[in-house]
Amino acid sequence: MWWIDSSAKTSESRGRRLLRGRPTNALRATGEAAMRNGALRRAALRLAAARGRALALVYHRIRSEGPAPHEIVRAMPSSLVRQQIAALGELGDIVTLADLARDAERPGTRVRFALSFDDDDVGHTRVALPLLRSLQVSATFFLSGRVLHGLGPYWWVTLEHVIAERGLTEVCQTLGVAASSPVELAARCEGTSLVNRIVGMAQSQDVQPAAAEIRALIDGGMSIGFHTVRHLVLPTLSPEALGDELVRGRVELATAAGRPVALLAYPHGRAATREARAAREAGYHAAFTGGGHPITVQTDRFLLDRWEPGALGIDDFVAAVALRLNRPAGAR
């Protein structure tokens, strides 16, 4: 998940980002403040539309009650997600992710957006699907389909439930890790043998969509993409293991969905040229990373960025959308 890069934010990496022309926090804040001006925002959106810019968004978990203290992947309040998606419909056109990937540059008078959701989560069918249908928009759900293989939830989901049952202090003591929050604890466990211990703590939890719920997304007008079964960090794998991760479980997910699975979302949003080449060779039509850059005709179809807005209030969200659409394309 997103916390995996938290330890990599060194001064050296920040310097490289600046040399590549990425905005500093101060410049970004200045730009977002300017985008709160209605006339400037409309001008920015017209410019982005004329340049064929598009933006793909990603959400992970939404709940009517919002986030809980034990969560590592923080739930978005469904009321806020509704406001954000409704705002997108006012700013431009919401299209499918497949259309966005297939038709990357289409200059016009309105910018285009596409919606996606990641991970195996029961909230997809119970909360997100009714919300999307009420707004009459479609989204792509990138699933691992772990339940189809008799696997339990992702390890961090198990960790969340253990924290909820036992409390953060007791779990930290059990694992022998010092952490002041669930997110910090997950970051310290990621990539270590502690993950296996956490998986062993699993209880029977109704936290994964069943096969029928996967099909319900399709019947509800949504699309299904693949997120790999094990949700590993693909750039760390050998070429053979990478190839296996991109195909293992894809057929089973397509069978449950009742249609081919042609889109891929790289776990943790992490991929580069090697992973893009492997995705192409595996027969996907397009693949998505993190990063949050706009999609243009120059963007590699197998390194398409998505942006996770998080819990931005509606004014900040609209300003950030307008600014982000006019950022440099996702050069790597």
What is the per-residue pLDDT across 21-76, written as a single tens digit (0 to 9) for each? 445 566 566 677 777 777 888 888 888 888 889 999 999 999 999 999 999 999 99
245 vs 291, more confident: 245
Count the residues in the chain: 332
Q: How far apart are CA 38 and CA 42, in angstroms?
A: 6
What is the per-residue pLDDT across 174-219, written as a single tens digit (0 to 9) for each? 999 999 999 999 999 998 999 999 998 876 566 677 889 999 999 9
Q: How far apart are CA 119 and CA 145, in angstroms?
A: 9
Nearest to 289 by CA among 298, 301, 278, 277: 301
For residues 311 and 296, the answer to whether their CB atoms sit within 8 Å is no
Q: What is the pLDDT of residue 205?
A: 62
Phi and psi at residue 213, to the nearest 5°: -75, -35
Q: List, in sequence order, the alpha helices (H) in 129-264.
A: 129-135, 155-166, 168-175, 182-189, 194-199, 211-219, 239-247, 250-257
How confident is the prediction for the chain on average, in pLDDT?
87
Q: Which of 68-82, 131-145, 285-299 has the lowest mean pLDDT?
A: 285-299
Domains recognised in the chain with CATH numbers: 19-62+93-152+208-325 (3.20.20.370)
Q: What is the pLDDT of residue 40?
A: 84
Q: How far apart are CA 26 and CA 218, in angstroms?
A: 43
> What pTM does this model have?
0.89
pLDDT at 11 over 90: no
Instruction: Compute the chain's Rg from CA coordinates.
Output: 20
330 vs 136, more confident: 136
pLDDT at 6 over 60: no
What's the longest Cα–Cα distance across the chain? 57
Q: Which of 83-97, 131-145, 192-206 has the lowest mean pLDDT?
A: 192-206
